[in-house]
Every structure is written in C-alpha cells, then in structure tokens.
Structure 1
Amino acid sequence: MYSTAIKKPVCNNTINFLQTLIKAKSITPNDAGTLAWLTKQLVKLGFEFEMVNHHGVSNLIAKRTFSEGPCMAFIGHVDVVPATSLGWHVAPFSGDIVDGFIYGRGAADMKGGIAAMLSATKELIEDQRCKIGSLYWLITSDEEGEAEFGCKVIAEYLEKKNIVLDACLVGEPTADILAGDAIKNGRRGALSGRIQVKGKAGHVAYPENSINAAHLAGKVINCLTNIIWNKDEAGSKTGLQVTGVQVNNSVDNIIPDNCEVTFNVRYSHGYNSQQIINAVEQALEPVQQNLSCYWERPCEPYYTGHKDNHCFLTLVEKSIYETTGQYPKLTTAGGTSDGRFFSNAHTQVIECGVANSTIHQVNERVEIADLLKVEEIYRAILKNYFI
C-alpha cells in the first residue's frame, strides 16, 4: 500500500519540471520522451539543437551562443535504473510529494539536477544584462548502463566538430547532506578483473595427488589484498575489493580443479589503468603459472585542480559560498561518471548536485528545499560565468 500523506503539487517551475521527468519511465537506454520534452523547453529559450542517435541511444546536443567567449557545458543523463513498486511509499514513477520530499526513480540521480539547471538556464536567458560565451546542454539516455553510446559518443562528436569546451558542470548528486556541502572535482578510475585459477582434481582423502584450486585462490586473494598503492594522491585513495569466489564443484569429496576470483579496483588519478594492471600482475607473480587474468570495464580517472587563471573550480566554489555561506568539500569518491569523457588538460569538469543518500534505492527522493538550493547554486554559477 502506498502512503496517502501526499501533498498537492507545489507551484514552482523546478518542482514541476522534476515531476514531469520522473513520470517518464526512462530506464536505460530508453529516454521515454524526456529528451523531446527537454528539447522543446530549450528551443523556447533560443537554443539550437541536434540529436545524435547511436545504437538505439538518444543524445541531445543543444547550444545557445551569447557572444564570443568561453564555452561551458551542462552534462547530464535522463536514464534511470529500474524500479519495482515493492517497498515504495508512493509509485516509483509518480513524482509524488510526501512531507517535503519529491519521491521517484531518478529524483536524485539525476533528474533533479536537470530540472534545477533548466530553471537556472531560463533565468539566465531572461536576464537582460550582456552575456559572453556559449552554453551547451549535453544530455544522454545511456549513463546507467555500459555508457558506450552516450556521452562517449557526444564527446567524439564535439571533437570531430572542433568544439572545445572550457568548463563542464555535471549535475550528478554529490552532496552528503545538504546541497553545496560537497562537490566532485574528479572521479577515481574503475577496473574489474576475473581470474581463472587452475588446479588438479582428485579425491579429498588423497590431497597429495591433487592441486586444490580453491586453496590457490586463497593465495591469490592474499596477494591482491596486500598490494601497496604508493602512487595515491591526497584525497583520492585506491582500493581493491574481491567481489566473488566461485568453485564449480557440486560434491564434497572431490578436490576442485578450478576456481574463479573476481575483483574490482577503484583507483586514484595518480594511476592509469595500465599501471593498475601492472601492479596486480606483479603481485600475482608467485602463483602466475596456475592462473589466467582477464580485465573488464576499464574507466579512466579524471581530476580537476585549481588553475591560476579562468579557474572553473574556483568559480564553482565561490558560487556555492555566495549561496550557502560555506565552501564545499572537494572529493573524488564514489562511482564513475560521464565527466570522464570530457575532462582533459584544457577542460575543467566539476560535478555538483543534490544529496546522493537515496540514489538507486527504494524510495529514492530529493528534499524540495535541497532541490531549490541546487537551483540557486546553478543560477550563481551561470551568472558568474556568463555575465
């Protein structure tokens, strides 16, 4: 049974935008009409747009040029992870409001950020003061999955068109408790490994005639978990977690001749994926003759530090201070994000959004006060960048 303590919709653009987006069941990679709706809103604000579709994934590239000057992009995704009704206080795609919170899949990750930025963009366009530069909206429906045909394709498209972005703001949920208390100026890399351990089967009563693959797997795990990551950067630590150990053995009197160990590494921007592979393979040298290692789903890290001139990180920090009275914590923790596709030696990428404590969970929600605070932060960022 869903809760009946549902308030009437609030008359506010950002809230209405978010409720509209939540009601669309845009489960990866289906945008469920959200990109068409968003395009319509941006066209009203004078944006030019192009849809770049690839392997069933829809990607929106919209642009509004004010004058010569720097280029900033807002990066986001409309796709969400699946949700069933089990355990929810309201229907997961209703966008209902309960006790000051908007509930629904994608409320925090990251339709709330899109709704807040749409309101902030509208206010920027309506501001009669002179503006410089160009504002891009780069939105995909393929972030929650493998992300092969989303922002990766958008970034490749921009490169082919010789479009150089100076700054990117990613609307991912980054706050710990309240909007603006934490932002991400990078993300750790991610790399998964799959190790096949080979042994020799035999009767458990005669172990001297066999090689127990499960016992060897124990040595493999010991090697993996004792790696020292001496290239870690401050505030960005590397961690390796074993995620699975499986023996293909259905009886209890046979020594197993195979075992699979899976693991994932989240690593500091002090490394690249090849350096992680080298470190793991070096650690496994004592048992390498009994195993094969396969690597999967590499995601390189990215990092944005402070610059002496035209620093987007400093601008975002200043905008948050103007809005909240406090400077944000800088962190690279958490999972991967689409920011990695746009970060380079020239383009600064910062992630800033609502609280992330309920993302991908039953009863995912965003507090209305937090949503409106993010909108206020976005307004300040746009004003400080373009006016």
Structure 2
Amino acid sequence: MLSPVFKNTECVEVIDFLQTLVKAKSITPDDAGTLNWLSEQLGSLGFEIERIHKNGVNNLIASRHFGEGPKLGFIGHVDVVPASSNGWKADPFSGEIIKGFIYGRGVADMKGGIAAMLSATKKLLKQELPTIGSMYWLITSDEEGEAEYGSKEIAEYLASKHIVLDACLVGEPTADELAGDAIKNGRRGAISGRINIKGKAGHVAYPENSINAAHISGKVINSLAHIVWDRDEVGSKTGLQITGLKVNNSVDNIIPDNCEITFNIRYSHNYSSAQIREVVEGTLGDLHQFLSCTWERPCEPYYTGHKSDNCFLALVERAIYQTCGQYPKLTTAGGTSDGRFFSNAHTQVIECGVANATIHQVNERVAIEDLIQVEQIYHAILKSYYLE
C-alpha cells in the first residue's frame, strides 16, 4: 500500500518502473528481457535503438538528437549479482514495498538509477522538447562480472562511429544516507597480483640446508604492507590488502619450498596500473631471486575535476543544491565502475544515485523517498543541460 504522499502519477510511475525491472532475474550476463523493455520505453520517446550482442552479453545504445550541441550519455547496467531467498523479508525478485522501502536484488545497484532516469527523461520530453544537443542511453548486462563485453564494447562502438560524448552520468548508487549527499567524480583503480615464491625444501632440523618459502613470504608481506604511496591525496587513497596465502605442504617436518601470496590494490587516480606495478616490483627487488609476480584484472582509475567552461561536475552540483538544498560531498571511494570506459580528457564522468548501504546484501532496498529524490535530481540535471 502506497502512502498518499507517493500517489501522484510521477511517483507511481518511477516506482512501477523499478518494480518492473527488479522482477526480471537479470543475473550477469542475462538481461532477462530488461533491455527489450527499455528499448520499447525509449523507442516510444523517439529514441533510435541499436543493440550489440557479444559472447552472451546484451548491450543497448539508445540515442535521440535534438540539434547541434553537447552530447550527454547516461551509463547503466541491468545485471545484478545472484540472490537466494534466505534471510529476505520479501522475495528478492518481487520489488515488494515494506514500510516505505522497495526490496529486491538490484533495486539500489542499479535498477533504481535506471528507473529514475527513465522517469526523468519522460518528464523532460513532455515539458519542453530540447532544441540542442543529443542524449544517449548506454546500458549493459555485463557490469557485475568481468565487464569484458559490456560498456567496454559500447565505448569502442561509439569511438568507431566517431561519437565523442561531452559528459556522462552514471546511475550507480553513491549516496551515504540520502540521495544527493554524495556523488563520485571518479573512481580509484584496481589491480590484483599473485606472487609465487620458490624456496628449497629440506628437513626442519637442518634449516641451514634449505630456503623456507614461508619465511620469505613474511618478508614479502611486510614489505607490501609498508609501501608509502606518495602520490595519494585527500579523498583518493591507495590501499593494498593481502587476500590469500597458501603453502603446499602436508607434513610438519619439511621446510616448504613454495608459497603463493595474492593481493589486491585499490589505487589513487594519480597512479596508472603500470606505475603501481613499478612501485610493487621495485619494493620487492631485494627478493626477486626467490619470486615471480603476475598481474591480473587491471581496472584503470578515472577522475573528473572542475573546469572553467561547460563544467558538468558544477552543473550536477548545482542541480543537487536546487533539489536537496545542499551541495554533495565529492568522493572517489568504493570499487570500480563502468565510468572508467567513458572517461577521457574531453568527457566528464559523474556518478550519482541512491544510497549504497545495502547493495549486494540480503534485503537490498531503496527508500521510496530516496528514489523520488534521485528522479528529481536527474530531471534537474537534464533541464539544466538541455534547456537552460
């Protein structure tokens, strides 16, 4: 049952959009029909629809051209992480409303953002048709997985058509408590490493005849934990965490001749993945004869700062102030996002969405008030971008 405050047409519409999306079990990379539904919705609003299918991943590119002028892209994903019913107050794919919250897998990450932007887009086009610029919807079903055939493919497709976006709004959940209290103007990079240590086996009673790989691993871990990341700045810190330590030794009287260490680094936008590798490998230089290091899953950081002219970051900040009465906190914290595929020297990328406190958790939920506020923020952004 909806509260009377939520019973106006616009509120009901954005709630209905979100419930429709959540009821689709779109676990990566299956879009479960959500992209067909979005294609129908956007097609009815005059958007041209293109689809890219690759290696089981479905992607949507919807565009509407109003005239000459700047190009804005809305970036999002319909895929979600798995969910069983254990511990949930409602079926995770029901979109049930309980005490002012919509429950379901993906309501926050990030079907709530998609529903809010769809409602905001409809509202914009009903009120006053823009006469300048273009709008792109760029939606994938491959964000929660390896992200090899989703937004990366979309970005490459746009580049092949010589389409350069001026700004991108990513609908990821960014708020700490209430929509608009925090946005992301970048993301830290991420990279994983695997170190294999080779020692020399022997009897524990005669350590002088052996090289203990486990003991070397302690030196390696200590060195990694004490790296000073001197390019960091406030709001964008680098952190290295050991994620695994394995010694293949089944008995207690043999000195182990091998050890594997795995680690992950989330790093400041002031570094590239190549620079991160250089720092780590340089730190371990004294031990290089005992080990080899391989690198996995590099995700480059991105960052959008303020600029003097046509600043999208400032536009988003003003839209949030107009809607919420306060300016948002800027942060680059958290994991990676698909924003990295679209950010470049020309394209400003900003992430703004609902609260992220329950994403990927049992009882993932979004407050209806939060959903409506995000829709209002998006509408203010669109009005400012196209009409003012």
Q: Determine if the TM-score, normalized by the shorter chain, exceeds 0.5.
A: yes
Measure, in 2, the Cα distance between the counterparts of 1:252 and 1:82.
Answer: 40
The Cα of 1:100 is off from its aligned counterpart by 0.6
Equivalent residue, structure 2, for 1:80? 80
Measure, in 2, the Cα distance between the counterparts of 1:212 and 1:57.
Answer: 46
Measure, in 2, the Cα distance between the counterparts of 1:185 and 1:122.
Answer: 26
Equivalent residue, structure 2, for 1:369? 369
The Cα of 1:208 is off from its aligned counterpart by 1.8
Equivalent residue, structure 2, for 1:332? 332
Equivalent residue, structure 2, for 1:4? none
The Cα of 1:128 is off from its aligned counterpart by 2.5
Equivalent residue, structure 2, for 1:301? 301
- The answer to whether structure 1 residue 102 and structure 2 residue 102 are counterparts is yes
- The answer to whether structure 1 residue 264 and structure 2 residue 264 are counterparts is yes
Is the partner of 1:336 in helix, strand or coil?
coil
Aligned residues: 381
Is the partner of 2:236 in helix, strand or coil?
coil
Measure, in 1, the Cα distance between the counterparts of 2:282 and 2:41.
Answer: 54
- The answer to whether structure 1 residue 193 and structure 2 residue 189 are counterparts is no
Measure, in 2, the Cα distance between the counterparts of 1:129 and 1:66.
Answer: 8
Equivalent residue, structure 1, for 2:314? 314
Measure, in 1, the Cα distance between the counterparts of 2:290 and 2:19.
Answer: 55
Is the partner of 1:244 in helix, strand or coil?
strand
Equivalent residue, structure 1, for 2:346? 346
Measure, in 2, the Cα distance between the counterparts of 1:299 and 1:336.
Answer: 7
Is the partner of 2:83 in helix, strand or coil?
coil
Equivalent residue, structure 2, for 1:254? 254
Measure, in 1, the Cα distance between the counterparts of 2:185 and 2:298.
Answer: 20
Measure, in 2, the Cα distance between the counterparts of 1:82 and 1:129.
Answer: 40
State the one-letter code of the partner of 1:14: V
The 5 A counterparts of 1:228-243 are 228-243=228-243
Is the partner of 1:279 in helix, strand or coil?
helix
Is the partner of 2:319 in helix, strand or coil?
helix
The 5 A counterparts of 1:193-232 are 193-232=193-232
Q: Share of identical aligned residues, percent?
A: 73
8 Å CA contact 1:233, 1:269 repeated in 2: no
Equivalent residue, structure 2, for 1:174? 174
The 5 A counterparts of 1:159-170 are 159-170=159-170
Equivalent residue, structure 2, for 1:131? 131
The Cα of 1:130 is off from its aligned counterpart by 4.2
The 5 A counterparts of 1:17-36 are 17-36=17-36
Measure, in 2, the Cα distance between the counterparts of 1:298 and 1:18.
Answer: 32
Equivalent residue, structure 1, for 2:283? 283
Residues 321 and 8 from structure 1, CA distance in 2 versus in 1: closer, same or farther, beyond 3 angstroms?
closer
The Cα of 1:294 is off from its aligned counterpart by 0.3
Measure, in 2, the Cα distance between the counterparts of 1:182 and 1:128.
Answer: 29
Is the partner of 2:336 in helix, strand or coil?
coil
State the one-letter code of the partner of 1:151: S
The Cα of 1:160 is off from its aligned counterpart by 0.3
The Cα of 1:323 is off from its aligned counterpart by 0.3
Which is further off, 31-40 or 231-240? 231-240
- Computed over aligned residues only, the root mean square deviation of the Cα atoms, in angstroms, reads 1.1
Equivalent residue, structure 2, for 1:3? none
- The answer to whether structure 1 residue 14 and structure 2 residue 10 are counterparts is no
The Cα of 1:191 is off from its aligned counterpart by 0.6
Measure, in 2, the Cα distance between the counterparts of 1:22 and 1:248.
Answer: 44
The Cα of 1:129 is off from its aligned counterpart by 5.1
The Cα of 1:234 is off from its aligned counterpart by 3.2
TM-score by length of 2: 0.97
Equivalent residue, structure 2, for 1:91? 91
TM-score by length of 1: 0.97
The Cα of 1:205 is off from its aligned counterpart by 2.0
Equivalent residue, structure 2, for 1:60? 60
Measure, in 2, the Cα distance between the counterparts of 1:350 and 1:325.
Answer: 19
Which residues of structure 2 form unaligned runs of 5+?
none
Equivalent residue, structure 2, for 1:323? 323
Is the partner of 1:374 in helix, strand or coil?
helix
Is the partner of 1:190 in helix, strand or coil?
strand
Which residues of structure 1 form unaligned runs of 5+?
1-6
Measure, in 1, the Cα distance between the counterparts of 2:226 and 2:56.
Answer: 43
Measure, in 2, the Cα distance between the counterparts of 1:206 and 1:378.
Answer: 69
The Cα of 1:282 is off from its aligned counterpart by 0.4
